[in-house]
């Protein structure tokens, strides 16, 4: 239970929070100014502090060095009473638990910061065991260079201790490195402390600058988190230090920890600029859903196409030419690095229309293997009467040949030199001679079902929509789905490429065989939003951004989750679900 910390926004494990002191502090932040340490119990027995709403009081504690034996930890464990002022408890990953505090300080941070594996293990264990709506603090470890990664891993609070200490030792810290003071003939910064000639710059000035640089970096990180773009930044930032690169990769290996926290939809762009981009949750999740949930419903041949820099693909010059040649006689699927394969029905679905990558045509071996693996799984799951590859020579063609060999499939190649030459387009057109066209109705129905598969689970599209005579109004991509009784079930949201349901659609979903994500609430009728304290239970597999059914003794509603399932259950503050439609019971 926390009264003094609230999470307002999430970007993976990183969050924008509010430390609700008399002057509230937006986190992630340095908290030196608002921290009161009641002291260590090693020196003396201490009275419980009186506390105050002005500060975050660190309760009396016994810190143990990193690596202390379990028995030692247990015998020195401190009982933390539940306080009615803002409080922080000192724990280790092993002793992390709900002590009723608003924040938790990991006492052995200095032992694991600098060691990627130990850092990952400690922080993840702590975060799994601490209540989701409390703040996590690491003390004595933050620098301008590492703090974006600390936040990326889920740290909310830090202090200036290390940055200042390094200054007093003669080190000048920046977000990309550190310098000996005496090596600087010019100060690479314009902060208050740096407004003097390098020759007059003292170690005390360096301490001030380092603290300023840490605060500036945190401001940049908060902006990134609000924009949902911290990952893009840390992919570059991690390169400035070996252990940060290692740390970043270690976290990518913790797929379930990250996946639980990364929203399923976002409207910000995703920049795939490094080889690590393949490993990010959004990319892996899309590939996973396309190959495990999505199913092709067209009877036509498959045409594999290269991606375009412009998104959605169908609005690009090249894809317009392909479309004209294909004339609804084939199912168009684009191949792309680093997303994998994108069936035409999912071209708007996050992150298919949101990613931006460097289009050089030169793919690394990792990229080729990834795209080949996705294509292989895709073709194992989906049967086509014919497979046509309208792809440029090089990586694309190599991948298709590799997969066709593996699966023993026949592939017809239609490109000579380049996919958009008159000759190539002519080949594509001719090779589809005699193939029947699908109708606009078929196309639209298949889009809606594909979105349901992708969003809700395998076969969800059929489970929801096969028994009803679907009627569509308005044009793609703003499809509105109605049943034959004239009741609207859902709308396609073009900016994320997902379905949002009406109340009637929510009932169809709930009563179908498709897995439903449900948030159970207390006996009230939510208007606008459901706050976390009103949540009684929630499905653990709910992710931020998921469509959820909300049910309680007094209400039935449909909306979008603002936090994940675990957070919905554990949180005592914050918006849990934004409600779209509600009816009283």
Which positions lie near Zn ion, rule CB under 5 A? 189, 191, 194, 209
**Contacts of residue 316, Cβ cutoff 8 Å, sequence gap at least 6:** 308, 309, 310
Residue in 411, 467, 464, 29 with CA at minimum distance from that of residue 214? 29
Give 548's contacts (C-beta < 8 A, 6+ positions apart).
Answer: 517, 518, 519, 538, 542, 558, 559, 560, 561, 577
Q: Tokens for 466?
A: 């096969």
Task: Report the nearest approach of Zn ion to the CB of residue 204 (Å).
Answer: 13
User: What gap in Å lies between CA 578 and CA 174, rounded to an integer?
Assistant: 40
- Judged by DSSP in three states, 35 sits in strand
Which residue intervals of 7-92 are DSSP H helices?
70-75
Asked if 30 and 42 touch (Cβ cutoff 8 Å), the reply is no
Closest CA to 451 of 461, 436, 462: 461
State the nearest-atom distance from the C-beta of 31 to Zn ion, in Å: 21
DSSP output for 469-528: --EEES-TTS-EEE-TTS-EEEEEETTTTEEEE-HHHHHHHHHSSSPPPEEEE-SS--SS
Question: Residue 442 — φ and ψ, nearest 5°?
Answer: -60, -45
Beta-carbon contacts of residue 299 (< 8 Å; ≥ 6 apart)? 385, 438
Count CB neighbours of 580 within 10 A. 17
Residue with tokens 């100014």: 33
Task: Let me know: does 214 contact 30? Beta carbons within 8 Å.
Answer: yes
Q: Is 36 exposed, middle or buried (0-12, 13-18, 19+ CB in 10 A)?
A: middle
Is the omega angle on the peptide bond into residue 312 within 30 degrees of 0, that is, cis?
yes
Work out the angle between the directed axes of helices 242-253 and 230-237 (0-180°, nearest 10): 140
């Amino acid at each position: 239970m926390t009264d003094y910390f609230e999470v307002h926004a999430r970007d993976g494990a990183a969050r924008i929070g509010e430390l609700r002191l008399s002057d509230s502090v937006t986190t992630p932040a340095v908290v030196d100014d608002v921290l009161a340490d009641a002291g260590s119990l090693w020196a003396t027995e201490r009275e419980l502090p009186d506390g105050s709403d002005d500060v975050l009081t660190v309760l009396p504690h016994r810190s143990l060095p990193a690596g202390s034996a379990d028995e030692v930890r247990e015998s020195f464990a401190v009982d933390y009473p539940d306080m009615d002022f803002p409080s922080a408890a000192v724990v280790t990953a092993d002793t992390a638990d709900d002590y009723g505090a608003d924040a938790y300080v990991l006492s052995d941070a200095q032992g694991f910061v600098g060691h990627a594996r130990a850092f990952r293990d400690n922080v993840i264990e702590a975060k799994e065991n601490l209540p989701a709506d409390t703040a996590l603090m690491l003390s004595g470890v933050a620098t301008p260079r590492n703090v974006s990664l600390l936040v990326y891993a889920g740290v909310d609070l830090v202090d200036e201790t290390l940055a200042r200490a390094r200054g007093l030792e003669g080190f000048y810290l920046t977000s990309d490195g550190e310098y000996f003071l005496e090596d600087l003939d010019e100060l690479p910064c314009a902060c208050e402390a740096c407004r003097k000639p390098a020759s007059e710059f003292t170690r005390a000035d360096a301490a001030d600058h380092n603290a300023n640089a840490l605060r500036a970096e945190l401001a940049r990180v908060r902006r990134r988190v609000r924009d949902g773009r911290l990952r893009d930044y840390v992919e570059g930032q991690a390169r400035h230090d070996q252990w940060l690169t290692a740390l970043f990769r270690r976290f990518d290996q913790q797929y379930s920890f990250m996946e639980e926290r990364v929203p399923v939809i976002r409207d910000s762009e995703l920049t795939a600029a490094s080889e690590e981009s393949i490993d990010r949750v959004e990319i892996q999740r899309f590939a996973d859903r396309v190959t495990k949930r999505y199913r092709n419903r067209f009877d036509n041949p498959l045409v594999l196409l290269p991606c375009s820099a412009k998104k959605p693909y169908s609005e690009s010059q090249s894809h317009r030419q392909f479309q004209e040649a294909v004339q609804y006689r084939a199912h168009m699927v684009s191949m792309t690095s680093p997303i994998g394969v994108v069936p035409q029905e999912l071209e708007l679905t996050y992150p298919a229309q949101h990613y931006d990558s460097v289009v050089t045509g030169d793919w690394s071996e990792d990229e080729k293997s990834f795209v080949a693996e996705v294509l292989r799984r895709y073709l194992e799951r989906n049967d086509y009467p014919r497979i046509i590859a309208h792809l440029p020579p090089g990586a694309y063609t190599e991948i298709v040949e590799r997969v066709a060999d593996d699966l023993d499939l026949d592939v017809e190649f239609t490109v000579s030199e380049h996919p958009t030459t008159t000759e190539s387009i002519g080949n594509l057109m001719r090779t589809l001679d005699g193939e029947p066209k699908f109708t606009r109705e078929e196309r639209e129905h298949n889009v809606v079902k594909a979105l349901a598969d992708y969003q809700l689970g395998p076969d969800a599209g059929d489970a929801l929509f096969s028994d009803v005579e679907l009627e569509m109004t308005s044009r793609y991509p703003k499809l509105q789905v109605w049943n034959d009784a004239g009741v609207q079930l859902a709308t396609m949201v073009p900016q994320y490429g997902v379905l949002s349901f009406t109340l009637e659609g929510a009932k169809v979903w709930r009563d179908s065989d498709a897995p439903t994500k449900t948030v159970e609430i207390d006996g009230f009728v939510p208007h606008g939003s459901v706050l976390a304290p009103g949540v009684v239970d929630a499905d653990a597999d709910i992710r931020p951004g998921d469509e959820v059914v909300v049910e309680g003794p007094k209400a039935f509603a449909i909306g979008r989750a603002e936090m994940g399932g675990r957070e919905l259950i554990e949180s005592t503050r914050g918006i849990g679900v934004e409600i779209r439609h509600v009816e009283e019971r």
